[in-house]
Amino acid sequence: MQDAENLSRERLESLGNSGELDRVRRAIDASPPVLKELGISADRAAELLATPFSGLEAAGSRPTELEAIVLAVGRPPLVVRGGEVEGKFTLGESFPPDTGDRITAVEPLLGSVGRVEFRFHDMAWGGTAWVIAEEADHLLVATNRHVAQIVARRTFRGDGVFMFSPSNLPYGAQVDFLEEVDADPDPDRVFAIEKFTYLADDVSADVAIGRIARPEAGAAHQLAAFDLADGEDEDVVAVVGYPARDSLRNDPHQMERYFQGLYDVKRFSPGKLEVAAGVSSLSHDCTTLGGNSGSPVIRLSDKKVVGLHFAGRFAVGNAAVRASTLRAVLDGTVQTRVTGTELAAPERPDGAHDAEHFEGREGYDPDFLQVAPVPMPATPDGVALSRPADATDERPFELRYQHFGILYSGALKSPVLAAMNLDGAQTRPQKRGNDKWFSDGRLPAEDQLGKEDYDDAAIDRGHLIRRAATNWGATEAEAKQSNDDSFHYTVASPQHMSFNRSTHQWLGLENYIMTNARTHGFRCCVFTGPVFDGSEPELKDTGSPIPLNYFKVVTMLSEEEGTLGILRLHATAYLLSQGQLIQRLLIGQGDTESTEGFSFGGFRTFQMRIADLEQISGFDFGPLRDADPLARRVAQMASEGPAPKPVIIVHSPENIVL
């Protein structure tokens, strides 16, 4: 607290040397309305200004309180009410005599500045946006990159896509062009940000551009784009935005004195521009707080925006992006960092393989472990499987590839099960280049997705089986064929980006199990598939669901305890999920504790009993139920005391039960 008082005293001394304190004294004689907001009378303010800094404590005050008065009078954050700026004619000698009239001229444009609000996010809102340009059917709004990044991420194209919440709902954003003091909510003045057409990378100017719909013709409230112009030093400007409580960067006691708890509403903060040659950002001394991020810096002489506010500290200083940089962003000529993704060759067009291409493929081998068979599981009731053109009586629904087989549903346009054989002793890594994806001619093309269905940067083509795991064989050609076979749309499942950020433990399961001393050899059989429960979002209008849960069952051989090398099946089951299915399972087993604060969060890997996986997925894994070490461990512990939860969160491979 003492450091804050000392810094405040230093700033007051500087203001006194510049003559600002004298100007504030004269302005107080006019009883500006901002003093009422501070809860102080003009007489008390004049008394404190006449008190030496060293005598403030004896006068019942402190330097921070006096500084708040000086700033409130000299650089007031004026309240906007009913579209008009209150107190605009009481600004004092710090501004030209006609400043109030100039503010009146700007007021018709204030309705084109709004608050950026979020959907399905813990933060209700995060900054300010304003109309920067007009398109044929839309308007463009400007805000800061760091505001947009709360709910969106940049793609390799330079635009932004909305991320997903922990509950699998896509974040969203909207601009409320009202949010004034005492104003009733008006849904007609709230416009959804349809997408971010530009989202700067982290080494470029702090800019994001969003697209919103135009107001309907004849609507009572219309929006207009601000003109842009570069500013000059000492230009009289104003920042229009939504100051928010910002105690992390600013003294909370000073904030409360200055804003009297009146945050999150539209304010008009006049000040002056400070332009330094040779830098891409400019400075201003308008009063701002965190919610002003993205605010326009408006020059009062011609109502043009000279900058986009992006950073500041109360009573210290502010920074803004120049108008010329904003114009370059709109024109598409802004210089941005070129990433490795952007340097990569354009994605290759899709290809197609006819049925003859797959001649000789044997698919999944249920006798791969040699000691005991591992048949494919029976699929859930009601799932319509597609019959490939090369179907056999023994395998009527299997799409046979090198080292793996796929059960596919044309109705879902999705693989239902991937069954893979893996021999870790014959691994032959394959380099990955500019991959080309293919349709499989053994099924109708209209039953498969294609490149055009994955044009949303938030959705990836996810290999249902781990691509690198297929890269094995007695020869290099065998491994390459298996790798190439994995690039068919029948092997891919739509995955949103929050899934792909959370797969580290999931992808390494097979390698860990194969190399663990509890298992025998380096061969394993892996079953992977989506778990559909009807809550999945649809991939555009394709009819294909985007899975929110995936299972994996890894089967190897292990030596039976207490025997002299007798081998038996060893099978473990896993679920990649945000937890909803796990909670539902536990509640169904009578575990009421699971209703008391179960944490869903992001995607995590869970180990579970095969029998429980059968219950939630509808698959029947047959003999593998009796080869489950987790089931045996749970049963043993239940016989000795309270039954443990039959689910393990896999924070690292070491806590897997093998």
Considering the domain architecture, whether residues 498 and 618 belong to the same structural domain is answered as yes
Considering the domain architecture, whether residues 357 and 477 belong to the same structural domain is answered as yes
Considering the domain architecture, whether residues 122 and 68 belong to the same structural domain is answered as no
Mean pLDDT is highest, among 130-144, 270-284, 565-579, for 130-144
Considering the domain architecture, whether residues 469 and 578 belong to the same structural domain is answered as yes
Q: Given the structure tokens 């001229």, which residue do they identify? A: 105
Q: Is the pLDDT of residue 318 over 90?
A: no
Task: State pLDDT tens for residues 454-469.
Answer: 887 677 888 888 778 8
Is there a domain that residue 593 lies in?
yes
**Average pLDDT for 46-53:** 82
Is there a domain that residue 106 lies in?
no
Domain boundary at 189, 213, 237, which? 213
**Average pLDDT for 24-31:** 79
Return the minimum-mean-pLDDT range out of 56-65, 135-144, 203-212. Answer: 56-65
490, 406 Cβ separation under 8 angstroms? yes
Considering the domain architecture, whether residues 402 and 459 belong to the same structural domain is answered as yes
Active site residues: 463
pLDDT confidence bin for 66, thresholds 50/70/90: confident
Q: Is the pLDDT of residue 606 over 90?
A: no
Answer yes or no: is 500 a known binding residue. yes
pLDDT confidence bin for 424, thresholds 50/70/90: confident
The whole-number pLDDT of residue 385 equals: 97
Is there a domain that residue 337 lies in?
no
Considering the domain architecture, whether residues 133 and 201 belong to the same structural domain is answered as yes
What's the CA gap between 200 and 336, in Å, rounded? Answer: 8
DSSP-based three-state secondary structure for 497: helix
Domain boundary at 29, 46, 74, which? 74
pLDDT confidence bin for 507, thresholds 50/70/90: low
**β-bridge partners, 557:** 520, 569
**Average pLDDT for 313-327:** 80
Between 545 and 602, the more confident residue is 545
pLDDT confidence bin for 481, thresholds 50/70/90: very high
139, 152 Cβ separation under 8 angstroms? no
577, 168 Cβ separation under 8 angstroms? no
The whole-number pLDDT of residue 46 equals: 84
Which domain does 641 fall in, by range?
Answer: 351-655
Considering the domain architecture, whether residues 122 and 6 belong to the same structural domain is answered as no
Comparing CA positions, the residue from 574, 551, 546 lying closest to residue 414 is 546
Domain boundary at 171, 198, 213, which? 213
Share of the chain above pLDDT 90, in %: 47
The whole-number pLDDT of residue 638 equals: 83
pLDDT confidence bin for 650, thresholds 50/70/90: confident
**Average pLDDT for 248-261:** 48
The whole-number pLDDT of residue 596 equals: 43
Return the minimum-mean-pLDDT range out of 297-311, 529-543, 622-636. Answer: 529-543
DSSP-based three-state secondary structure for 464: coil
**Average pLDDT for 301-320:** 82
Considering the domain architecture, whether residues 35 and 117 belong to the same structural domain is answered as no
Average pLDDT, the chain: 84
Is there a domain that residue 119 lies in?
yes
Between 560 and 377, the more confident residue is 377
The whole-number pLDDT of residue 535 equals: 76
Q: Is the pLDDT of residue 429 over 90?
A: no
Task: State pLDDT tens for residues 98-127.
Answer: 999 999 999 999 999 999 999 999 899 999
What's the CA gap between 196 and 138, in Å, rounded? Answer: 13
405, 519 Cβ separation under 8 angstroms? no
**Other CB atoms within 10 Å distance of the CB of residue 546:** 21
The whole-number pLDDT of residue 71 equals: 72
The whole-number pLDDT of residue 290 equals: 67
**How many domains does the chain divide into?**
3
Is there a domain that residue 304 lies in?
no
SS (HEC) of 121-163:
CCCCEEEEEEEEEECCCEEEEEECHHHHCCCEEECCCCCEEEC
Is there a domain that residue 82 lies in?
no
The whole-number pLDDT of residue 347 equals: 66
Contacts of 507 (CB under 8 A, 6+ apart): 466
Return the minimum-mean-pLDDT range out of 45-49, 268-272, 500-504. Answer: 500-504
Q: Is the pLDDT of residue 337 over 50?
A: no
- Burial of 153 (C-beta count, 10 Å sphere; 0-12/13-18/19+): middle
Contacts of 493 (CB under 8 A, 6+ apart): 414, 415, 462, 464, 530, 547, 550
448, 352 Cβ separation under 8 angstroms? no
Between 641 and 127, the more confident residue is 127
Q: Is the pLDDT of residue 166 over 60?
A: yes
The whole-number pLDDT of residue 508 equals: 66
- Burial of 572 (C-beta count, 10 Å sphere; 0-12/13-18/19+): buried
Considering the domain architecture, whether residues 10 and 141 belong to the same structural domain is answered as no
Considering the domain architecture, whether residues 60 and 207 belong to the same structural domain is answered as no
- Burial of 615 (C-beta count, 10 Å sphere; 0-12/13-18/19+): middle
The whole-number pLDDT of residue 249 equals: 40
Please give the radius of gyration of the chain, using alpha carbons only, rounded to the nearest integer: 32
**Average pLDDT for 284-308:** 90
Return the minimum-mean-pLDDT range out of 89-93, 194-198, 491-495. Answer: 89-93
**Average pLDDT for 630-651:** 84
What's the CA gap between 215 and 227, in Å, rounded? Answer: 19
Q: Is the pLDDT of residue 512 over 70?
A: yes
**Average pLDDT for 320-333:** 88
128, 291 Cβ separation under 8 angstroms? yes
Instruction: Please report, for the domain that includes residue 184, its CATH number.
Output: 2.40.10.10
Considering the domain architecture, whether residues 416 and 540 belong to the same structural domain is answered as yes
Tell me, rounded to whole angstroms, the distance of Cα 510 from its chain centroid: 30
- Give the tokens for residue 533: 């429960």
The whole-number pLDDT of residue 2 equals: 55
Concatenate the DSSP letters of all residues of 368-416 into one string: TTSSS--PPPBPPTT------TT--SS-SSEEE-SSEEEEEETTTTEEE
pLDDT confidence bin for 590, thresholds 50/70/90: low
**Average pLDDT for 571-584:** 76
The whole-number pLDDT of residue 495 equals: 82
The whole-number pLDDT of residue 172 equals: 94
Q: Is the pLDDT of residue 154 over 70?
A: yes
**Average pLDDT for 123-139:** 93
Is there a domain that residue 246 lies in?
no
Instruction: Please report, for the domain that includes residue 420, its CATH number.
Output: 3.40.570.10
125, 119 Cβ separation under 8 angstroms? no
Between 329 and 518, the more confident residue is 329
- Give the tokens for residue 287: 């009063």
Q: Is the pLDDT of residue 451 over 80?
A: yes
Share of the chain above pLDDT 70, in %: 84
Comparing CA positions, the residue from 87, 33, 105 lying closest to residue 298 is 105
The most distant pair of C-alpha atoms in the chain lies apart, rounded to whole Å, by 100
Q: Is the pLDDT of residue 279 over 70?
A: no
Q: Is the pLDDT of residue 198 over 50?
A: yes
Considering the domain architecture, whether residues 539 and 402 belong to the same structural domain is answered as yes
Is there a domain that residue 371 lies in?
yes
480, 403 Cβ separation under 8 angstroms? no
Between 314 and 317, the more confident residue is 317
Between 565 and 557, the more confident residue is 557
